[in-house]
Amino acid sequence: MSDTLHCAVIGVGAFGRNHARVYSELSDNATLAGIVDPNPATRDAAAKQYGVAAFADLDALLAAKREGKLQLHAASVAVPTEHHLAAAKALMEAGVDVLIEKPIASSIAEADQIASTAARTERIAMVGQLERFNPAVLAARKLISRPMFFECHRLSIFTPRSLDVDVVLDLMIHDLDIVLSLVDSPVREVHAVGLPILTRKVDIANVRVEFANGCVANFTASRVSTERVRKLRLFQPHEYLSIDYGRQDLIAIRVDEQIAAALEHLSRNSAAAAAIPSGSPGVEITKPPVTPGEPLRAEIEEFLRAVRTRTAPAVTIGDGSRALGLALAIHQRIEEHRRRAGLG
């Protein structure tokens, strides 16, 4: 492999444009070689901004590669979800490693085809679960031991983007992936309710997931909110962690087990309880250090590391399939609730 990785972005719409920007900024070990988009205005604007070759479709890009007109080692797939399989498969069969935006595919069957193609062609395939690389999440992972309860809120003001999928696959899947990566236990039960508000797909959803080990996670996602919220709170024995994805902020509250036990013992005696000092003795509130950074840049750098070393990326096809599987189970529960409620 050459010293410089030549990369392309397939789909330079709302989010694909950010992939193009990051590749163009990684001048030391990567370069943006080309972009693909069927929309002439979008394609021409990106080509002009980054000074790269532009193609109306993936076939044209791969033809340029075959003819030696374009070097290409890796690509981000940022087209609508329904086209992920076709794009990723064509790229991998042409010898190109792929970073596939979330969700990995429209169905588990399609995700399995992506996995089998990656294995057959010996290509690196990574799923773009962006929040895995949020600095606050990276800092929190060092403190997590036995999470038993999660509260996840992801609210967004409505925008006409990603309307090919519902709010579960658009927004909630970020938190589904994070929780699945932190809980080492299979899902036991799922309860969900969701409603279409401004589109024909579910725009707001509330979900409760219980794992076999007793951990419970509540998820709320909305793309019709009046405010933007990106927060995850988790509780484990004697500790509470609060993550603000947007602010890249982490707060930890920990209770000293010995002091807590002593106070519990004293509280059983009315006279002793009166002597307990006010405030919260034994409770430590800290803000663990978080190194700021752009999650997308960290994600792409991890992808390119995997491409160079030919080792498994941080977010595998299996990870993407698990998050998709849970999202599809949520879809099923939402549909069941819709029928029970007679919502038409």
pLDDT at 275: 47
Question: According to the model, what pLDDT value does residue 164 have?
Answer: 78
Provide φ and ψ at 319, rounded to 5°.
-60, -45
Alpha-carbon distance of 147 to 150, in angstroms, equals: 8
Indicate the residue type of 61: L
- 229-236 and 149-155 as β-strands: parallel, antiparallel, unpaired? antiparallel
CA distances from 255 to 30, 131, 182, 265 (A): 47, 28, 21, 15
Distances (CA, A) of 34 to 14, 25, 61, 130, 254: 17, 14, 8, 22, 50
* Distance separating alpha carbons of residues 62 and 238, to the nearest angstrom: 55
CB-based contacts of 94: which residues, under 8 Å, 6+ apart? 62, 65, 66, 72
Confidence (pLDDT) at 258:
65
β-strand 74-77 against 149-155: which pairing, if any?
unpaired
Ordered per-residue pLDDT tens for the chain, 344 residues: 558 999 999 999 989 999 999 999 997 789 999 999 999 999 999 999 999 999 999 999 999 999 999 999 999 999 999 999 999 999 999 999 999 999 999 999 999 999 999 999 999 999 999 999 999 999 999 999 999 999 999 999 988 766 778 999 999 999 999 999 999 999 999 999 999 999 899 999 999 999 999 999 999 999 999 999 999 999 999 999 999 999 999 999 998 766 656 656 555 665 554 444 555 557 889 999 999 999 999 999 999 999 999 999 999 999 999 999 999 999 999 999 999 999 87
Contact 333, 192 (CB under 8 A): yes
Superfamily classification of domain 133-292+326-338: Dihydrodipicolinate Reductase; domain 2 (3.30.360.10)
Is the dihedral angle over the CA atoms 341, 209, 318, 174 positive or is it negative? positive
- Domain range annotation of the chain: 5-129+295-315, 133-292+326-338
- Give the Cβ contact number of residue 182 at 10 Å: 18
Query: For residue 142, what is the DSSP state?
Result: T
Task: Using the structure block, give the residue that is written with the tokens 């509330």.
Answer: 206
Structure tokens of 267?
């509280």
Distance CA 128, CA 317 (A): 10
Which alpha helices (H) appear in the chain, and where do they start and end? 16-25, 40-50, 58-66, 84-93, 108-121, 135-141, 167, 173-182, 257-267, 270-274, 295-309, 317-341
Residues 6+ positions from 145 with CB-CB distance below 8 Å? 236, 237, 239
Give the whole-angstrom CA distance, residue 314 versus residue 127.
9
CATH topology of domain 5-129+295-315: Rossmann fold (3.40.50)
Contact 74/96 with Cβ under 8 angstroms?
Answer: yes
- The model's pTM is 0.91
Given this chain, do its domains 5-129+295-315 and 133-292+326-338 carry the same CATH topology? no
pLDDT at 163: 72
The C-alpha angle 153, 314, 129, rounded to 5 degrees, equals 30
Let me know: does 134 contact 174? Beta carbons within 8 Å. no
pLDDT at 292: 96
